């Protein structure tokens, strides 16, 4: 049995994933924790040792550029949320998602999320993707294929943001 909708969505995921891997490769913890501007979203380590992300009150440009740590946290946040709300018990909250703490742990976390997501999508048929049964976060009442498409768009956006941030940080080191 063929599943053209699923196969198209998986192809889009694969393209976004390839770009994400490119920008995660060679990433260092120092790059993650450097701030590209005086202001911008970042992560802070709490007394309990967990790294928590700042959450914006608005999305204006005056927020400044986010750190790579925040960008990778955001990628892990939304992917964790959509996995939990689509294939789990739908109880995960933003506050429960912390940044791993090192670039190696970031790569492992994001790779695990990708593997889980892709594995779930591979098991779905086109009828599942037309259904709204799994659609609980971030949208409701849409076919689940819309969520799968959204996730690939979000991944590509995050990959582009990571790449841009890494270019900015690398250029700042050039004498």
Give me the domain span that covers residue 77.
4-36+65-173
pLDDT digits 0-9 by tens, 152-163: 999 999 999 999
> Tell me, what CATH number does 28's domain have?
1.20.120.450
Q: pLDDT over 70 for what percent of the chain?
A: 100
pLDDT in tens, 162-172: 999 999 999 98
Confidence (pLDDT) at 174: 75
Give pTM, 2 decimals: 0.96
- Say if 51 falls within a structural domain: no
What are the tens digits of pLDDT across the range 7-32?
A: 999 999 999 999 999 999 999 999 99
Kindly state the percentage of the chain with pLDDT values over 90. 95
Assigned domain for 117 exists: yes
Q: In the chain, how many domains are there?
A: 1
Contact between 110 and 20 (Cβ < 8 Å): yes
89: DSSP letter: -
Averaged pLDDT of the chain:
96
Q: What is the pLDDT of residue 127?
A: 97
pLDDT at 175 over 90: no
Asked whether residue 42 is domain-assigned, the answer is: no
CA nearest neighbour of 35 among 20, 54, 22: 54
The answer to whether position 97 is within a domain reads yes
**Is position 113 within any domain?**
yes
Q: List the structure tokens of 160.
A: 């582009």
Q: Would 16 be classed as within a structural domain?
A: yes
In this prediction, residues 79-86 reach a mean pLDDT of: 98
Q: What is the pLDDT of residues 114-135, one digit of tens each?
A: 999 999 999 999 999 999 999 9
Burial of 118 (0-12, 13-18, 19+ CB in 10 A): middle
Report yes or no on 103 lying in a domain. yes
Residue 1 pLDDT: 78
- pLDDT band at 64; cut points 50, 70, 90: very high
Provide mean pLDDT across the span 30-42.
94
């Amino acid at each position: 049995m063929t599943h053209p909708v699923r196969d198209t969505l998986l192809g889009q995921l694969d393209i976004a994933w390839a770009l994400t891997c490119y920008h995660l490769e060679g990433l260092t913890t120092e790059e993650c924790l450097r701030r590209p501007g005086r202001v911008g979203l970042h992560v802070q380590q709490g007394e309990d040792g967990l790294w928590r992300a700042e959450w914006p009150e608005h999305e204006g440009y005056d927020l400044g550029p986010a750190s790579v740590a925040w960008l990778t946290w955001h990628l892990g946040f939304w992917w964790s949320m959509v996995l939990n709300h689509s294939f789990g018990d739908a109880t995960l909250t933003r506050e429960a998602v912390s940044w791993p703490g090192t670039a190696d742990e970031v790569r492992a976390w994001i790779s695990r999320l990708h593997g889980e997501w892709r594995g779930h999508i591979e098991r779905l048929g086109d009828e599942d993707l037309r259904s709204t049964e799994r659609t609980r976060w971030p949208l409701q009442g849409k076919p689940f294929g819309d969520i799968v498409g959204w996730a690939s768009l979000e991944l590509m956006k995050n990959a582009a943001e990571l790449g841009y941030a890494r270019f900015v940080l690398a250029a700042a080191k050039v004498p």
